[in-house]
Amino acid sequence: MSVAESSTDGPDAAEASVTINGARHEFPVLKGTLGPDVIDIGALYQNTSHFTYDPGFRSTASCESKITFIDGDKGVLLYRGYPIDQLAEQGTFVETCYLLFYGQLPTGEQYEAFRRRVVNHAMLNEQMTRFYTGFRRDAHPMAVMLGVVGALSAFYHDSTDISDPLQREIASIRMIAKMPTIAAMAYKYSIGQPFIYPRNELDYSANFLHMCFAVPREEYEVDPVLARAMDRIFIVHADHEQNPSTSTVRLAGSTGANPFACISAGIACLWGPAYGGAYEAALMMLQEIGTVDRIPEHIKRAKDQNDSFRLVGFGHRVYKSPDPRVRIMQKTCYEVLDVVGHRNDPILQVALELERIALNDDHFVEKQLYPNIDFYSGIALKALGFPAEMFTVLFAIARTVGWIAQWKEMIEDPIQRIGRPRQLYTGASERSYISIEAR
Ligand code: ACO
């Protein structure tokens, strides 16, 4: 088999060919606005009776999308064309939600109307509060999120018809609005405190902090620096193109499953320790290292081919240069630590030194292992007052808008079809059943 790419009649006429057993087959090469061209092999099986083989999807574009662009080599992340640092510095999370979902930044009027809709949907059906008491108090909050978000489909029947654009929009706004409430309730339940209802006069992130940290018997004023930090953390996590959880949401959605069930599937995927669960693991690793003098032994282990130990918070499937979100997280981390008075937190010192050593170590440089977004997130979230088990939950709140925007894009894509990969089968060939006595 041989593969070639040619472009004879200008940029729009590029095509690639594959020669299999002497027969040449041509395939169109599609160009995006940014990023690598893709070879459209949709007709490969029909034309050649061959599949492609790409475990982990290292070279496979699963869909066309207009939402988020990443250049992992240059460290670029754009939401609908806008650089992440500009949105994080100048925008708000609710504005980012509007942008991701509708495709444009809102005017003042559009923003206010959207913000009000989100505020109005923040409460949960009161009956849903009973779900929480069915969980053990020591349940991981991600387990609670999974269950409660999936259960939304049992409560909001008027927004589960995915063929109706209005219902799609209402379900989407409901999820963006209710996710902080669901998450805060999971947290309150885990510590045995009463649930705190959403407050309409607070903005999205301040309201979330209020629901998590207020108690009924005294006033709780949200520090604006902390609310802004939370908002920025939500912005940088809002979308990340076809990451594992988004791909899970798209795959689940491709069957026509309702949006609440699809988002619940995304939450399940996000929980994995190699992915969203790494937030928790990164902080635990920094705590385990504990002091700067213990860093070299951990670096040594991470480099040892015979040791499965990995530096959690380092490396990324897509970023082979610094992740643009990391500096934003580092800055946010400093701001939060200044407000709570923990600037000399020993864990921060370990993180800074570990980063410095790894960035100057040939092994890490050669393998292009840079700190990922998890690295500083845990320190910032801990300083905000959250226990480690809540970290992935906060990621889920932020990513909900990305999931929902990608899900909507998929449903509205005229060429959308059920996601059904194939395989390279290496199991037994057909054989005959032998009765148990004869085996
Ligand atoms: N520490 C030490 N070595 C590492 C690390 C690490 N954190 N990450 C990758 N490597 C090494 C691997 O051992 C491998 O070495 P080899 O070439 O000798 O086999 C090489 O770098 C490539 O690693 P892969 O696992 O093939 O890279 P992949 O792109 O599949 O993995 C991943 C990316 C899963 C994020 C990986 O870097 C990792 O496990 N990191 C630690 C967990 C983590 O921080 N996850 C969060 C990711 S960010 C997010 O999900 C929001």
- CA–CA distance, 291 with 261 (Å, rounded to integer): 43
How would residue 87 be classed by pLDDT, with cut points 50, 70 and 90? Answer: very high
How would residue 220 be classed by pLDDT, with cut points 50, 70 and 90? Answer: very high
pLDDT of residue 4: 65
With a 6 A CB cut-off, is 147 part of the ligand 1 pocket? no
Which of 214, 256, 270 lies closest to 397 in space, CA to CA?
Answer: 270
With a 6 A CB cut-off, is 367 part of the ligand 1 pocket? yes
Residue 318 alpha carbon, nearest atom of ligand 1: 29
- CA–CA distance, 14 with 12 (Å, rounded to integer): 6
pLDDT of residue 376: 84
How would residue 163 be classed by pLDDT, with cut points 50, 70 and 90? Answer: very high
The pick from 328, 361, 369, 392 for probing ligand 1's pocket by mutation, whose C-beta has the most ligand atoms within 8 angstroms, reads 369
**pLDDT(31) > 80:** yes
And the tokens for 194?
């009463």
**pLDDT(108) > 90:** yes
With a 6 A CB cut-off, is 303 part of the ligand 1 pocket? no
And the tokens for 91?
């925008």
Helix (H, G, I), strand (E, B) or coil at 54: coil
- Residue 197 burial (C-beta neighbours within 10 Å; 0-12, 13-18, 19+): middle
How would residue 3 be classed by pLDDT, with cut points 50, 70 and 90? Answer: low
And the tokens for 329?
């997280």
Q: What average pLDDT does range 259-270 have in this prediction?
A: 97
How far does the chain reach from its first CA to its final CA, in angstroms?
A: 42
How would residue 6 be classed by pLDDT, with cut points 50, 70 and 90? Answer: low
pLDDT of residue 375: 84
- Rounded to an integer, what is the distance from CA 280 to the centroid of its chain? 15
Q: What average pLDDT does range 185-205 have in this prediction?
A: 96
Residue nearest to atom 15 of ligand 1 (CA): 367
- Is the CB of residue 25 less than 8 Å from the CB of residue 50? no
How would residue 117 be classed by pLDDT, with cut points 50, 70 and 90? Answer: very high
Q: What is the pTM of this model?
A: 0.91
With a 6 A CB cut-off, is 373 part of the ligand 1 pocket? yes
Q: What average pLDDT does range 256-264 have in this prediction?
A: 96
The residue that leads in pLDDT, 318 or 88, is 88
- CA–CA distance, 303 with 73 (Å, rounded to integer): 23
pLDDT of residue 7: 57
And the tokens for 60?
């496979």
* Residue 48: count of CB within 10 angstroms of its CB: 17
With a 6 A CB cut-off, is 369 part of the ligand 1 pocket? yes
Q: Which of 10-19, 74-83, 145-154, 156-165 has the lowest mean pLDDT?
A: 10-19
Q: What is the pLDDT of residues 277-321, one digit of tens each?
A: 888 888 889 999 999 999 999 999 999 999 999 898 898 888 988
CA–CA distances in Å: residue 353 to residues 231, 279, 358, 372, 381: 27, 19, 8, 15, 20
Q: What average pLDDT does range 339-359 have in this prediction?
A: 85
- Residue 368 burial (C-beta neighbours within 10 Å; 0-12, 13-18, 19+): middle
How would residue 45 be classed by pLDDT, with cut points 50, 70 and 90? Answer: very high
Q: What is the pLDDT of residues 221-245, one digit of tens each?
A: 999 999 999 999 999 999 999 999 9
- CA–CA distance, 423 with 53 (Å, rounded to integer): 7
CA–CA distances in Å: residue 339 to residues 107, 325, 335, 342, 374: 33, 21, 6, 8, 21
**pLDDT(13) > 90:** no
**pLDDT(415) > 70:** yes
**pLDDT(5) > 80:** no
CA of 254 to the centre of ligand 1 (A): 29
- CA–CA distance, 285 with 301 (Å, rounded to integer): 13
On average, the pLDDT of the chain sits at 93
- Rounded to an integer, what is the distance from CA 49 to the centroid of its chain? 35
The pick from 59, 314, 362 for probing ligand 1's pocket by mutation, whose C-beta has the most ligand atoms within 8 angstroms, reads 314
Q: Which of 140, 298, 316, 323 is catalytic?
A: 316
Residue 275 alpha carbon, nearest atom of ligand 1: 50
pLDDT of residue 121: 96
User: What stretch of H or E contains 27?
Assistant: strand 23-30
Helix (H, G, I), strand (E, B) or coil at 2: strand
pLDDT of residue 115: 97
- Rounded to an integer, what is the distance from CA 141 to the centroid of its chain? 17
